[in-house]
Structure formats: structure tokens, C-alpha cells
A and B are shown apart, each in its own frame.
Chain A
Amino acid sequence: MEQHLLSIVLFTPLAGLLVLLLIPSSHKTLIRAWANVAAFAGFLVSIPLVLRFDKNIAGFQFLERADWIPSLGVKYAIGIDGISLLLVMLTTVVGFLAILSSWAAIDTHLKSYYAMFLLQQVGMIGVFIALDFFLFYVFWELVLVPMYFIIGVWGGPRKLYAAIKFFLYTLAGSVLMLLGILTLYFQHNQQFGFYTFEISELMKLDLPLGLQQWVFWAFFLGFAIKVPMFPFHTWLPDAHVEAPTAGSVILASVLLKMGTYGFIRFSLPLLPKASIDQTIVGVLAVLSIVAIIYGALVSLMQQDWKKLVAYSSVSHLGFCTLGIFALNPNGIAGSVIQQINHGISTGMLFLIVGIVYERRHTREIAEYGGLGQVMPKYATVFAIAMLSSAGLPLLNGFIGEFTILQGAFEANRAWAAFAVMGVILGAAYLLWLYQRTILGQVTNPKNLRLPDLSLRELAVFVPLIVWAVWIGVYPKPYFDVLEKPVQQIVERVRPGYFQGGGAPQRAALPASRPQGGSR
């Protein structure tokens, strides 16, 4: 048991799925209950990871290695460091809450619906723990199919268009990434005489800059489309708007993080020379900044509540990628924290849209107004989610954005200046949204009788709110687990950074200044 902890976390949803398939479709309540139990079990088994995680160990923990396809050199190699720990926890928590939130919303093909979510859980956890590139790729692709069905079967009016668009976009990127992976695999054989996909082995490769750049762009297409970064974001609004609420939550909270995680785990450590190449860093930073500002501006213009939240994701993920390519400890640690934050806040925002959509079946912002009068609990929850997303101090969003901005400032002051505009615009579109929907008098008589949050709905929000406040008030544990892995990555990309090459006074890492840590 002890040494297979991570495998248990990975396969619990799968076991739940297999049992689910045995339940006859007519027992709807039983199916719902079981899916919730399975997802909750998935969360419970992941708790020991947190308890037994040793933040002082540099490198991976809970390692498991076994031969999978010996003739290709493929191993079943899994393990986590602080970065993956946080993302795995995000997956198990949000995965459970998404399933919980679907209790009343979904009534058709229940069994397949929950089966898709559980399968999706396996894929997402797998992506975050795989230490073998082949294994990673298998999980990466495994995620596509359930999401296609979640959008395509249970989605809105244009669901089929949105589903196939999502599938094709991400697939096109990931097959090109596959070519990059195969190139590394082949180069490893050239240099060391044996074939392997293990990340730790591939990191030993010494490749010329030109080749690294090609491979970097191949990876970039795979990861950037998933994130999505600026010119590749067009699939996202469609997918989000058409997806059922729980699908949007998973998509925004976890699925997009696969892209940013890919950059941190693979692009930077495997291709260090390309990652500090001026052109590449410049292009990525500019694309991130464009995403931040463009995403925010487009959000301001939206008439559709859900689309607004979708575009705000583009903006927020721009912060995450900007942090990564600041290439310093603050930037990368901030980026990971912000990924978690975005998972929490945007997850909540999607749930909030979902709740009124369930009651009114419209997402037009103009249809609402003054909801605070009829749904006070709802208004409170929305206020917290909105402020956390906008980056109010003492809530989680502030910590992430602040640390990223610090990192960006160290790297290039202009980047930070532009990114700050994103923060301001972010507050603008969120507050304006809140004002139009919640504040004032009820403008639409249809909204007069809307029921407030039920206990179950509230139960979905409470853990997320608690988490948001925890990160906002006491983020030290998060920075602590991130310290070693982030250090390793920075050291790998910029050797000598901590010996005075970069910014020595910054080497203490952000752990020591959770808030307001001015210089």
C-alpha cells in the first residue's frame, strides 16, 4: 500500500468507473450516489499525499517505476514534486465538487455522464504524475475523449460544433508535440545508446540550440493550445459556453493547467537553452501580455455571462504563462499558485453561472439584475468568488498575481507594467458584472421568485471558499512545497542563478513574504 500510494490515487476513479458500469441505468439515484462516493473516495485517497509529502526533498517523491513496454523503453514511471502535488490535489478536490454539483443539473444518460467524469479524472491525474513522456502523452490524449462527450452530449445548442473544435484544436497541437517527444527520444539513443522516455534520462541530453528551438516550438504548440495562449484561444469560449456547468468547471480549473504544467515540467527543464533564448522568451512574454489585456478587454464587452468568465480565463492564464517565462523563482512559483487560484476562483465563477442558468435557462447578463435582493447567500458567494478572481488582498488571487508581477518585474519592468493593466481591467469587468447582475433592484420580474442556494449547492462552494481564504491569508505552506522544485527548474534553466548570477537578494524565495513583501 505504502509504496503504491500514487497508483491508488490514479486508479481509484477508474475502479469507481468500473463499478459504476455495473449499476443498471434505471437506478438513477444509486448512480448519482455512487459517482459521488467514488469521486469523494478519489479525494480521500489523495489526502495521504499531502500528509506524507516531505517538502525538504528536492526531486520526486512517491516514486513508482515498472516496465510497461520494454521493447520501446517505455516505463510506468510516476512520482510527484511540490508542483504536481498541488495540481493533483486541485484535480481531486475540484473533480469531486464538479461531480457533486451535477446532482440536479444532469438528468439524461446519467451513467455515461459520470463515467466520462471519472475517466477524465484518471487522465488528468495521470498527466500530472507521469514521469515518462510516453505515459504522459497517453494520459494527455486520454483526456480529450471524455471532454468531447461531456461537451458534445450534455452541452448547449452548439455543443457539437464546440466539442469537435475543442478536440481538433488540441489534437493538432498534441500530435506535433508528439514529434518533439520522438525527437528527444531518438536523440537520447544517439547520445546514450538506449531508448527511453523517462524525463530524468532525457534531462541528461545535451542538444544544440537550433534543435532545442525546433523541439520547443513543437512542445509549444501542444501546450499553448491547451493553455490556451493568445492566438490559439479561439476554441475556449465555444467549449466553455456550450459545456455543461461541471464540464466548464473541470475544463477551466484543471484541464487548462495541463498546458501550463507542460511548460514547467517539460519545456523548461528539457530544453533549457531554448527556454532562455531571447526570441523565444520575448515571443512568449508578449503573447502572454497580449492574452492578459486582450482577454480582459474582450471580457468587458461580453453580453453572455459565461463567455465573460471564459475570456477571463484567457486573461488569467496569461499571468500564469508570463510568470513561467519570467524564469525566476518568483515568477514560476507565482505561476503555480495562480494556477491553483484560477482553478478555485474560476471554478466558482462557472458554478455561479451554472446555478442561475439551471433556474432561468439563460446566460444573458441583461436578463438579470438585482439578484442580491432575492438570493442573498448567492450574492455573498458570488462576491467572494469575484473578489478572489479580481485579486483582492487576503484572498487567493492576490497572492498569485502579486508574486507573478514581482517575478515579471525582476525579469523586465515593461512586462510588469503591461501586466498590471490586466489586473485593473480584471477588477473592472468583474465588478461591472457583479453590479449588473446582483446589485440594485430586481429589473426582470422573472427573477423575483428565484430560490436561493440549496444546502447541496452551498456545500459545493464552502470548500472552495475556505481554500481561497487559506491561500489568501496563509500561503506559506504552498510556497514551502514549491520552493525546492522551483529552485531546481530555475537552476536548470539558468545555471548559477542562485550563486549571484541573477538576483541574489531574491534567492531567499517568496516563501518569506506572503503579502506585501516590498523590497
Chain B
Amino acid sequence: MSQYYTATDHFVLIPAIMLALFGCAILLFDFLVFPSPRQRKWLLIFVALGEGFTCFGLWRQYAFLSANSLPELTAFQGSLTADGFALFFNLMFAAAALIVAIVSYRYLEIEGEHHGEYYALILLAQCGMFFLAAGTDLVTLFIGLELMALCFYVMVGFLRSDKRSNEAAMKYLLLGAFSSGFLVYGFSVLYGISGSTKLREITAAVAARDPWDPMVFLAVATTAVGLLFKISAVPFHMWAPDAYEGAPTTVTAYLSVASKAASFAFLLRIFAGPLGPAREDWLPLLIFVAVATMTVGNLAAISQSNVKRLLAYSSISHAGYMLLGLIAGNDTGIKGVAVYILVYTFMNLGAFLVVVALRREGIIGEDLDDMAGLVHKSPGYAILMLIFLLSLAGIPPTAGFLGKYYIFLSLIQTGHYVLAVIATLYVAVAIYYYFRVVKTMFAGELADHEPLASSFGLRLALGVTGVLTLGIGIYPEPWLRLAQTSLMR
């Protein structure tokens, strides 16, 4: 029996076990110990403990790897790995999940949908993300993807009495299932080529064939479509604005940050692994998609009047920038994607948290007009939002600049000058719509005198994201080293 579940397997799997365990514990405790809605915020302790144990497990893996200077630790006969890449992304997921969890209780109370399952779903979705970042087997990856997606389908539709939320969940479910179909089809072709589901073996089998072999091309095309759906790249982005707008804002924040990071981890695993040898197949395709994504994301964001939709389109354009890192494909590019994910996590979460605070009893607070004159009412929130928006646009000395810096540098190193020029010019476009929000906040007439829905958790989370967004920009060294670990594989 022991050969099927070795100590190494356990060591690699322990973060996922912890997430699943605490997720289930929340479900149990929710109705056994905390029957009254007012007590539910204590469930946060379980989330915090779960994240604590997960991070401890990740830290032990990291310590083990660096102590033995190993690039990676494989488990389950090569279906799961603990390498720097997986560790880095898992750390990001943990940060995002924790921040989202601690801001949610007040928000869900206002929405009147404060249920214990919510926290369980956060942890279980993160468990799925774990497999997306650490999986090296098509089946493991796919199960991780579906676990994550299923949790999100439920979370997006969490406001049961809200039509928009239901509609968003339905759209997300249908399109998500549709894209998963493409992905599985691509996986089946890859399996057909190699006779294995292990990424390593598939890579070898694809490398042995001509890139223009029809089977390889079919596999590349279908897999790419599936993956591009997940990161909401144009032309497969249609679900994102609707899902982002309809979902509870805290879920939108989680979706736009953690789910996107996980999908990127997945995408990088596949494109740098099995599809790597067929680079000449997908490079033109990805270049087209990246430019289209930046174009549509940035141009569509200009005319939005709903802040969540605006941020949805902006997050689409960010996916375009991250794709450029993969297009460059060198170490700077891959590290650039990691740095981008790192800074994006905090700045985008921060921007959504301000929107969370705008939701009050009787005020939906998602429209641009709801932010009008925010600086007169809550100057702290307005200034934080300014910092997040500057960072999203990539203006130094905020963190967002570093993400863009790496992407631009990698494009120049690999000679993609035209792409670099396009990408930089869209920064100016982005500033235009981000500053529509700034303009409203700082120059508009005060929209209402109702104070913002603040809570200790929200203030803490905003403080952390704000300090990090500015701090990473001013003293980036330790964070760049952290992102450097993602190249360990």
C-alpha cells in the first residue's frame, strides 16, 4: 500500500489536504456550532488557520528544496510537483483568499446572504488552484480546474435573490463548460499523440513530431482556445464583464485575481511544457490574441459607467500584457508574468475592495457616479483608490510599473519592438479610463452622505494592499527575489 502513497506524496500534497480539511470543517462547524448568522464571522478563524497551515506546508517544501538545492520534488509518479513555480503561485492564491475572506463578512451581511458555505467555497476553490499550479498531469490539472470552476459558479451566483447574480452564474457556467469541452478535446488529442497524460512525456512526444503535423496543430489550437477562455483573452472574453458585474463584489475580486492567476499558472505549464516544442504554431496566434486582448480590454473600458465592469475590462487588458511575457518566452518574460501576477494581485484586489466599501444598505454603489466626490467624504479611501489605479496603469513608483517593466524588457530582449510599442501606447489609453474614476472621485460633487461600509477586516485588507502596492514599487528587491523562485523548475 505504501508505494501508492509515499511520504513524498504526502509532503507535496499537504497544502491541498489542509485546504480541503478546513473547507469541510467550516461546513460542519457552520451549522453545528454557529447557528446564528451573527456568529458566522468566527468562521474566519478557520480560514486563517487553514491558510496558516497551507503556507506552513508550502514553506516546508521551499525549505526542503533550497536545503537540498533541488529544482523540484515530484509526487504521485509525476502527476504533482512542488517546484518554485507552484510554490510562488500557491502563495499568491493564499494571500488573495485570505484578503477576500476577511473583507467578506460585512459585505455579505449587507447583501443579506452571509452563509458559512461561502468561506468553505473560498478554501475549496483555492484547493483547485493548488492543483492547477502544482499539477503536471493532464487529468490532475483538469480536475483542479473543474474544482476551482465549480466553486466559482456557486460563488458568482451566491446572491440568490439577485437576478444579475443568477444571470452571471448561468453565463459563467455555460461558457465555462463550453470552454472546458474544448480543453478536454485538446487534451485527448495530446493523449493520442503521446499515449500518456504526464506533461513530461507529452512534451517529448510533441517534440518528436513536426510542429506542422496536423495532429499537433489540432491539439495546439483546441487547447489554446480552452486556456484562453479561462484567462478571458479576446475573442473569448465575453463571459468576463457579465460575470464580474453580476457576482458579489468580493467574489469578483477573488475571481479577477486568484482565478486569473491560477489560469495563468495552468496556461504557462501547458504552453511552456507540452506545447513548447510547437512554439511556431502558437506564437502568431498568441500575438494576435494578446494585441486583440489589450485593444478590446482598453478600448471597451473607456465607455463603461459601472466600476465593476470597468475593472473587468481592465483586467482583460492585463491578461493581454501577461500574455506578452509568454510571447517573449525568455526568463525575463516568465519572471515578468510572475511579477505581474504578484503586483496585480494586490493592486486589483485593492481596487475592488474600495468598491466593496461603497456597497451600503440600500445603495448598490457600483456606478461611477457613486464614487463622485469620494475624497470629501472618505479621503483615505480616495487616495488608496488613486494609488491602486496608478498602479494598474503602471505609473512609477507604484508596484504596477514593475510588472510592465519586465514585460517591456522581455519584448525588447526578444526583438518584438512593434509589440512593445503597442503595449506601451495602451498604457496611455489605460490612464484615460482609470483617471475617469480619479476625476469622479476628486472633482465630482458628493453623490451621497451615507458613510462607507467599513469594517475592521476591510480596513486591514485595504491597508495591507495599499502598503504593498506602494511598498513593492518603492523597495522591490525582496519581492523580485520572491518572484525569482517561480523560475525554479
Contact = CB atoms under 8 A, between A and B. Distances in A.
Interface of A: 68-72, 137-138, 141-142, 144-145, 148-149, 152-153, 159-160, 164, 167-168, 171-172, 175-176, 178-179, 182-183, 185-186
26 contacts: A68-B477, A69-B480, A70-B477, A71-B477, A71-B480, A72-B480, A138-B401, A141-B395, A141-B396, A141-B397, A141-B401, A142-B397, A145-B390, A148-B435, A149-B442, A153-B443, A159-B443, A160-B443, A164-B432, A164-B435, A167-B431, A171-B428, A178-B408, A179-B408, A179-B424, A186-B412
Contacts of B484: 71
Contacts of B395: 141, 144-145, 171
B394 to A, nearest CB: 8
Contact of B431 (A159, A171, A179): A171
Interface in B392-434: 395-397, 401, 405, 408-409, 412-413, 417, 420-421, 424-425, 427-428, 431-432
Contacts of A176: 421, 424-425
Contacts of B397: 138, 141-142
**Nearest 4 A-B pairs (CB), nearest first?**
A175-B424, A172-B428, A138-B396, A71-B480
Interface string B434-474: 01000100110000000000000000000000000000000
Interface string B97-127: 0000000000000000000000000000000
Contacts of B408: 178-179, 182
A152 B412 contact: no
A175 B476 contact: no
Contact of A168 (B412, B421, B431, B480): B431
Contacts of B476: 69, 72
Nearest to B420: A179
Contacts of A152: 439, 442-443
Give the secondary structure class of B's interface. helix
A71 B432 contact: no
B438 to A, nearest CB: 8
B412 A182 contact: yes
A144 B427 CA distance: 14
A179 B405 CA distance: 9
Contacts, number: 72
B481 interface: yes
A175 B477 contact: no
Interface in B219-253: none
Nearest to B393: A171
Given A138-B396, A175-B428, A182-B409, 16 more contacts: A68-B477, A69-B476, A69-B480, A141-B401, A144-B395, A149-B442, A167-B435, A168-B431, A168-B432, A171-B427, A178-B424, A179-B417, A179-B421, A179-B424, A182-B405, A182-B412
Given A71-B477, A176-B421, A185 B409 contact: yes
From A138, A159, A178, name the one whose CB has the most chain B CB atoms within 10 angstroms. Answer: A178
A186 B477 contact: no
Contacts of A160: 439, 443
A179 B412 CA distance: 8
Nearest to B396: A138
Contacts of B424: 175-176, 178-179
Contact of B396 (A72, A142, A159, A186): A142
A185 B432 CA distance: 29
Contacts of B401: 138, 141
Contact of A175 (B409, B427, B435, B442): B427
Nearest to A187: B412
A179 B407 CA distance: 11
Nearest to B426: A175
A81 B211 CA distance: 57
B164 to A, nearest CB: 31
B74 to A, nearest CB: 29
A183 B421 contact: no
Nearest to A149: B442
B343 to A, nearest CB: 14
Nearest to B397: A138
A394 B417 CA distance: 51
A145 B438 CA distance: 11
Given A171-B428, A176-B421, A179-B424, A137 B409 contact: no
Contact of A164 (B396, B409, B425, B439): B439
B477 A69 contact: yes
Nearest to B379: A112
A168 B428 contact: yes
A114 B148 CA distance: 49
Contacts of A148: 435
A69 B133 CA distance: 28
A144 to B, nearest CB: 7
A172 B425 contact: yes
Nearest to A189: B413
Contacts of B405: 182
Nearest to A177: B424
A238 to B, nearest CB: 15
Nearest to A184: B412
A183 B412 contact: yes
Contact of B425 (A70, A142, A175, A182): A175
Nearest to B435: A164
B462 to A, nearest CB: 18
Contacts of B480: 69, 71-72
Contacts of B409: 182, 185-186
Contacts of B443: 152-153, 159-160
A152 to B, nearest CB: 6
Nearest to B376: A109
A375 to B, nearest CB: 34
B442 A153 contact: yes
A171 B425 CA distance: 9
A186 B413 contact: yes
A30 to B, nearest CB: 19
A149 B390 CA distance: 13
Nearest to A148: B435
Contacts of B396: 137-138, 141-142
B442 to A, nearest CB: 6
Contacts of A182: 405, 408-409, 412
Contacts of B421: 176, 179
A181 B77 CA distance: 47
Nearest to B478: A71
Contacts of B428: 168, 171-172, 175
A179 B397 CA distance: 17
A42 to B, nearest CB: 20
A87 B395 CA distance: 25
A346 B441 CA distance: 33
A137 B480 CA distance: 19
A159 B442 CA distance: 12
A153 B396 CA distance: 22
Nearest to B386: A145
B361 to A, nearest CB: 29
